[in-house]
């Protein structure tokens, strides 16, 4: 998008930052907290979804 509204771009950048923070927390939780296979699988799915959303926003709003 070449003519993206500056406020939309700023909002997208803030959301990307928040999602990246969430992804970092999920990774830290996976690394430090013992969990069952099922819990780990659920956490990994959550992490995959967060990373997918980050990539989608980065494609839509290259900054």
Q: What is the pLDDT of residue 24?
A: 96
Domain ranges of the chain: 6-60
pLDDT digits (tens, 9 = 90+) for 2-61: 577 899 999 999 999 999 999 999 999 999 988 899 999 999 999 999 999 999 999 999
Place of tokens 């830290």: 28
Three-state secondary structure call for residue 59 = helix
Query: SS3 letters for 2-57?
Result: CCCCHHHHHHHHHHHHHHHHHHHHHHHHHHHCCCCHHHHHHHHHHHHHHHHHHHHH
Kindly report the pTM of this predicted structure: 0.82
């Amino acid at each position: 998008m070449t003519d993206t509204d500056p406020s939309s771009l700023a909002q997208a950048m803030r959301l990307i930052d928040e999602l990246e923070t969430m992804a970092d927390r999920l990774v830290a939780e996976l690394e430090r907290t013992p969990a069952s296979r099922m819990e780990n699988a659920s956490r990994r799915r959550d992490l995959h979804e967060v990373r997918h959303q980050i990539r989608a926003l980065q494609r839509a709003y290259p900054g």
